[in-house]
Amino acid sequence: MRRLLGPALTILLGAAFVALIGWLLHQQPSPAAVAVPHQGAADSHHVYLHLATYPDSMAGEHGKDGGAEPDWVSYGPTTTLNVPRHSLVTVTISQYDGGEAITNPWFARVHGTVGGSETVDGKTVTGVDPEAVGHTFTIHAAPTAQDPLFVSVPLPAVPDEAPPAAGSDYPKPIEVTFSFRTKGPGKYVWNCEFPCGDGTYAKFGGPMSTRGYMSGTLTVT
């Protein structure tokens, strides 16, 4: 009997220690894994942004000759966006580029916009065909003190066989419109989540990994 006392005591003490730490951790409030965006009170502003996505760099911020990499896909007219705080932002993107199946179909759905939807050539949708995505426009916030912001919309691909529109090198664009609300001031990054870069790193190279093509910043002032 006596010989069992020591081990039994050790086991009890060990279990008590585990229980103590467990109890301490159990007291810790753990925030929900995903913060639900909070819709603020009346908005002071309503602002509009107009962007476009091109199959090359001849029309964006890189100049008429396309800059250093004229063949790279690009966003235009600029990739540096500024919007006011506590505002409704309505974005229209003219999408001129073709596309393919997206690696991660989650990004073929709309996230974080007003109403959870976008309009594609006037039609309201909550997602597009994951087999034919051109690009996405995805705003992220790093989990810092600033207000969280996450908005992601897919831009459907222009069919490959679409002819150039009259007086243009590009086909007729698909018009995508959506709105989101900003909260307090902050610095955010946005990028395309469709691997549309060059061959390196599974198409995450080139325009996907160079600032000013498929990514930029959004500053809420």
Partner 1 sequence: MTVADTYQTDPVTGGPDGGIMRRLNVGTGILGGVVLALAANLLADWLAGDAVHEVDVRATATMVGWAVGFMAGLGAFTGPVRWLLGRDLTHADELFLAGKDQGEGRYFRFTTDHKVVGIQYLVLTMVMLGAGGTMAMLIRTDLISPNSGFLGPQTYNSLVGLHGLTMILATIIMVTGPFGNFVVPLMIGARDMAFPRLNALSLWLLFAMLPVLYSAAFLGGIPMGWVGYTPIADQGPAGVDSYMVAILIFAVSTAVAGANITTTILTMRARGMTWTRTPIFVYGVLASVVLALPAFPMFMAAEILLLVDRLMGGGFYIPSLGGQPWLYQNLFWLMGHPEVYVILIPAVTALMELTAVFARKPLYSFRIAVLSIIAIVGLSVTVWAHHMFASGWAPDLNGPFMLTTELISIPTGGLFLVILGTLWRGRIWATFPMMCTYAMLWNFIIGGITGIYLSDVPLDYQLHGSMFVTAHFHYTLMGAGLTGAIGALAYWFPKMTGRMLGDTPGLVSFWLVQIGFNVTFLGMFMVGLEGQPRRVVHYGASLHTGNLISTIGAYFIGVGMLVLLYDVVASWRHGKPASMNPWGAKTLEWTVPNPIPLENFAVLPVVTEDAYGYGEPVRDAPARAPAPVAAGAGPGQGPGQGGGTGEEART
Q: Is 85 left (phi over 0), alpha (psi -120 to 50) or beta?
A: beta
What residue 142 binds from partner 1, Cu ion, none (CB within 5 to 8 A, per partner kind)? Answer: partner 1
What residue 202 binds from Cu ion, partner 1, none (CB within 5 to 8 A, per partner kind)? Answer: partner 1
Asked if 2 interacts with partner 1 (CB under 8 A), we say no
Candidate segments 91-99, 111-119, 128-136, 199-207, binder of partner 1 by CB under 8 A:
199-207
Q: What's the half-sphere exposure (Cβ side, CA atoms, 13 Å) at 153?
A: 26
CB 55 within 8 A of CB 98: yes
Binding mask 159-198 for Cu ion (x = CB under 5 A): ---------------------------------x-x-x--
Asked if 143 interacts with partner 1 (CB under 8 A), we say yes
Candidate segments 39-47, 50-58, 107-115, 142-150, binder of partner 1 by CB under 8 A:
142-150
Distance CA 51, CA 108 (A): 19
Closest distance between Cu ion and the C-beta of residue 214, in Å? 4
CA nearest neighbour of 191 among 174, 221, 213, 219: 213
Please select the residue that binds partner 1; options are 1, 2, 31, 38, rule is CB under 8 A.
31
**Region 201-220 residues binding Cu ion, contact defined as CB under 5 A:** 214
Instruction: Give the residues across from 77 on adjacent strands.
Output: none
Contacts of 24 (CB under 8 A, 6+ apart): none
